[in-house]
Structure 1
Amino acid sequence: MNVFKDAVARELPWLSAIGADPDGGITRLLYSPAWLETQRELRKQMAQSGFETYFDAVGNLFGRVVGSRYPDEVVLSGSHIDTVVNGGNLDGQFGALAAWIAIRWLNETYGAPLRTLEVVSLAEEEGSRFPYVFWGSKNILGHANPDDVREICDAQGIRFVDAMRECGFTLPNAPLKPRNDIKAFVELHIEQGRVLETNQQSIGVVTAIVGQRRYTVTLSGESNHAGSTPMSYRRDTVQAFSRICVESIGKARLAGDPLVLTFGKVEPQPNTVNVVPGKTVFTIDCRHTDGRQLIAFTGQLERDMQAICREMNIEIDIDLWMDEAPIPMNAGLVSKLERVCRQQDICYRLMHSGAGHDAQIFAEAVPTCMIFMPSIKGISHNPAEATNINDLALGVKTLAMMLYELAYKPEE
């Protein structure tokens, strides 16, 4: 454990210093100077430790130790290097750093693996600068369409293609050819929740990444004078929203884990003290690990909202703009990861991920698994994001032992 703890204590500070905000936290957006400096410095560090390093066409960084027996079979591990604005120093980047530390230790301890071990520092996952997510992992698997980003801009009006060019990369004319040499992908990540901490467990073995359905709902009633409009005459959209919110969350609580439901943004109009709000726009985010149950619950939710609005003489428009199915992790890898935890006497739990991760993109094409480490108070996307260094070290150790199983042992 001490070797991993020492490595984390030595390597995490310099990585976190790149893109550090003066008041705390990190801002490292895709194709920004801080992003480019980070990728270049990480490449330099990996090369100095004997890794073969290279960038792909869109800026994903790779560092590899070539396998002695099956060089064309790649066991890949890493995560994204970009952050949200004023984010923490663990989300994303620690997964890439940990993969390098783990593979470096394996190579120094056991020599060359049978299968090629490869670190990936993914170009982007967060979508914090441009309106596109999973740019890094989608390109590796050939899922990214260059036409989807060709004309998009950031909040300052800088075009995606121009920012990319400034970093030395050129947008391809067609989707990249998907890699077919990746035999497994393992992602280490902080939990971004408080389940592990609350249950005093050190490692989460992720079984699935939740499906998500997101809505924008518009309620249209009638704006009118707050003083001269009797209660029985009102078509008050905030009242309708309130009923929808309270009744829906009550049903979500009855449904129980792992379903979660969030009303995240509410905009009443005209949003002034003395006018009955004639229009209210709000968002809904619903997640579940079971696709059928997610569809069934949200379908009932839609019918309930419509019934409330009919009763209150309110018009309703329901826009389902995100509909992502749950993504299970590979059962064989989950079982192998459990075995690693038992062999190392690690206190672990099987759990799902309530947030999206690059692993869900990889899992559609290659055997994939995820390892979670505890998050203190469940805080993430925040400068206060933190994990005890002993838990970080144990996460790296667990990753290293899993990569050993996958890359150093003959197939069972």
Structure 2
Amino acid sequence: MDLNKVLADNIKNLSQIGSDPTGGMTRLLYTDSWLEAQKYVANQLTDAGLTATFDEVGNLFGRIEGTKYPEETILSGSHIDTVVNGGTLDGQFGVIAAYVAIQYLLATYGQPLRSLEVISMAEEEGSRFPTVFWGSKNFVREAKRSDVEDIADFEGKKFVDEMRRQGFDFRDESVPKRDDIRAFVEIHIEQGNVLENEALQIGVVNNIAGQRRYTIVLKGEANHAGTTPMGYRKDAVYGFSKICSEIIDRAVQVGDPLVVTFGKVEPKPNTVNVVPGEVLFTMDCRHTDQEVLKNFTEEAEAFMKEVAKDHQLDIAIDLWMDEAPVPMNDDIVATVEKAAKAEKMKYKMMHSGAGHDSQIIAPHYPSAMIFVPSTKGISHNPAEETKHEDLVAGVKVLAKALYELAYKE
């Protein structure tokens, strides 16, 4: 089996489904291109000797039974959906890599002792409907019908109608989650530039960072820019600037892996000759240690209130996302590291600053992740790219890890 060619052909072919005329790829949950992509993967699974099946919501599985321990399953895969005008690797590389790695193992070693399974998850990105991790949350039985019954996309198309249009429906909630999964390994592009900058081929992920996201509104008083003396102003942007500068400085002092981002800023009235009376802004803070994350953000909240008081501003702080860090399983991480060493890869242990399906699955089943470099750290962008030799290196490490998990006693 020519691993290089099989991998390249699959990435090329699958990337044509949902390709955007302006560059990149758009493949959103329950669209026609999404279903076409899942059917393409199903055909590839069948051609690789796996049995392909869909669950109720549209997650796709490809399975080969184990010869000695069929009731023990080793799982690998990722998600098939994309962001709007995204790249050709995020999500789908993990799906392709999983079935290519298993195809290679079957061709080289025959049927495994434990069952091997690929999962192509229906949705992770949240790019069409205001919901995320629909695929993995249904897989682990966390998804709630009430979360999606009344939501619609940007065109007003209802989630439930579109799901049923494509032949899917809500799962049977009386059926418990599976008890046969012994390990889940997800491979993904890094979506950062650490591996590239350090000239490494593989990242062995041992933790997914927790996230706290806020929307904050500062309200002062809009007034004439020429006739309002500086000492009389209640300038919301000035208050924001104090907050932004000080909190970023504090984050730099704390150091890695803490990151904080003020990604959205909307001053009002946002015109050249009026003192801004209001500013809405967001704060995104991440760390792999829950206590550090909690302490830092609580101190940031207190500081924001102090600035507001000092500058005669009203403040409203909305903490709308509070996701704890998710550690990967030590044994599965060790298996991945062993595989990287066996394949003589240049690697490092690292955490993921981005969210992945693994963070949903890891609390239920032993999990680990493999990263391959991202060129310039670019992702969610038509310019998203990874050198083909790095993609192949990742598949080799994945295959070796799956071999250790599924073929060894």
TM > 0.5 fold call: yes
**What's the counterpart of residue 124 of structure 1?**
123
3-state SS of paired residue (2:179): coil
Contact 1:142 1:175 in 2 (8 A): no
How many angstroms does 1:174 deviate by? 3.8
User: What do residues 252-307 of structure 1 show as CA deviations (whole Å, max 9, x unaligned)?
Assistant: 11111000000010111111111111111100000000100000111111111111
Distance 2:307 2:139 in 1: 46
TM-score under structure 2 length normalisation:
0.98
Using the alignment, how far apart are the partners of 1:281 and 1:268 within structure 2? 6
Number of aligned pairs? 409
Distance 2:398 2:286 in 1: 28
Q: Structure 2 matches for 1:39-50, cutoff 5 A?
A: 39-50=38-49
* Aligned equivalents of 2:137, 2:29: Cα separation in 1: 15
What secondary structure sits across from 1:305 in the alignment?
helix
Which string of whole-angstrom CA distances, capped at 9 and with x for unpartnered residues, describes residues 140-185 of structure 1? 1000011110110000000001110111112246476312211110
**Equivalent in the alignment of 1:35:** 34
In the alignment, the residues of structure 1 paired with residue 321 and residue 300 of structure 2 have an alpha-carbon distance, to the nearest angstrom, of: 16
The CA distance in 2 between the partners of 1:326 and 1:81, in whole Å, is 24
Q: Residue 308 of structure 2 aligns to which amino acid in structure 1?
A: C
Distance 2:134 2:342 in 1: 36
Evaluate the alpha carbon distance shift between residue 176 and residue 387 of structure 1 in structure 2; reply closer, same or farther with a 3 A threshold: farther
> Equivalent residues in 2 for 1:172-251 (5 A)?
172=171, 174=173, 177-251=176-250
Q: 2:103 corresponds to which residue?
A: 104
Structure 2 partner of 1:276: 275
User: Counterpart in 2 of 1:18?
Assistant: 17
Provide the C-alpha distance between the structure 2 equivalents of 1:257 and 1:190, rounded to a whole number of angstroms: 20
> Letter of the aligned partner of 2:129 in structure 1?
F
Give how far 1:234 is off: 0.2
| Local SS of the residue matching 1:104 | helix
Residues 48 and 99 in structure 2, CA contact (< 8 A), matched pair in contact too: no
Query: Does residue 327 in structure 1 map to residue 362 in structure 2?
Result: no
1:45-124 matched pairs, under 5 angstroms: 45-124=44-123
1:310 CA displacement: 1.1
1:310 matched residue in structure 2: 309
Per the alignment, residue 154 of structure 1 pairs with 153
Deviations 1:362-391 (A, max 9, x none): 101000000000000000000000000000
Q: Which residue of 2 aligns with 1:140?
A: 139
Match of residue 256 from structure 2: 257
Structure 2: distance between partners of 1:394 and 1:336: 16
Structure 2: distance between partners of 1:187 and 1:135: 17
For 1:250-399, list aligned pairs within 5 A: 250-399=249-398
Alpha-carbon distance in 2 for matches of 1:93, 1:146: 26
The aligned amino acid for 1:222 is E
Equivalent residue letter for 2:269: P
Counterpart CA distance in 2 for 1:160 and 1:172 is 15
- Indicate how the Cα distance of structure 1 residues 176 and 319 shifts in structure 2: closer, same or farther if over 3 A, else same: farther
Contact 1:146 1:175 in 2 (8 A): no
4+ residue segments displaced more than 4 Å: none
Question: What is the alpha-carbon distance in structure 2 between the residues aligned to residue 43 and residue 206 of structure 1?
Answer: 28
Deviation at 1:70, TM superposition (A): 0.9
Cα deviation for residue 48 of structure 1 reads 2.0
What one-letter code is carried by the residue in structure 2 that aligns with 1:330?
N
**What amino acid does structure 1 have at the position aligned with 2:76?**
S
Opposite residue 107 of structure 1, the aligned amino acid is L
CA pair 168-283 structure 1, distance change in 2 beyond 3 A: same
- 2: CA distance between counterparts of 1:41 and 1:65? 18
Cα distance in 2 for residues equivalent to 1:406 and 1:281? 49
2: CA distance between counterparts of 1:173 and 1:341? 40
1:341, 1:84 → 2: CA distance? 30
C-alpha separation in 2, matches of 1:174 and 1:52: 24
SS in 1 for 2:156: coil
Distance across 2 between alignment mates of 1:328 and 1:230: 53
Distance across 1 between alignment mates of 2:171 and 2:138: 10
> Residue 308 of structure 2 contacts residue 314 of structure 2 at CA under 8 Å; is this kept in 1?
yes
The SS at the match of 2:242 is helix
Q: Deviations over 1:330-355 (max 9, x none)?
A: 01111121112112211100000000
Can you give the 5+ residue segments of structure 1 that lack an aligned partner in the other structure? Answer: none
Q: Report the TM-score when normalising by structure 1.
A: 0.98
> Offset of 1:14 from its aligned partner?
0.5
Q: Note if contact 1:219-1:281 (Cα within 8 Å) is conserved in structure 2.
A: yes
For 1:335 and 1:382, locate their aligned partners in 2 and report how far apart those are by CA, in whole Å: 32
Deviation at 1:62, TM superposition (A): 0.5
Unaligned runs of at least 5 residues, structure 2:
none
Q: Secondary structure at the match of 1:201?
A: coil
Deviation of 1:49 (Å): 2.2
**C-alpha contact 1:139 1:175 (8 A) present in aligned 2:** no
CA distance in 2, matches of 1:14, 1:183: 32
Are the equivalent residues in 2 in contact too, given 1:144–1:175 (CA < 8 A)?
A: no
Q: Percent identity?
A: 57
Q: CA deviation at 1:72?
A: 1.2
- Residue 210 of structure 1 contacts residue 325 of structure 1 at CA under 8 Å; is this kept in 2? yes
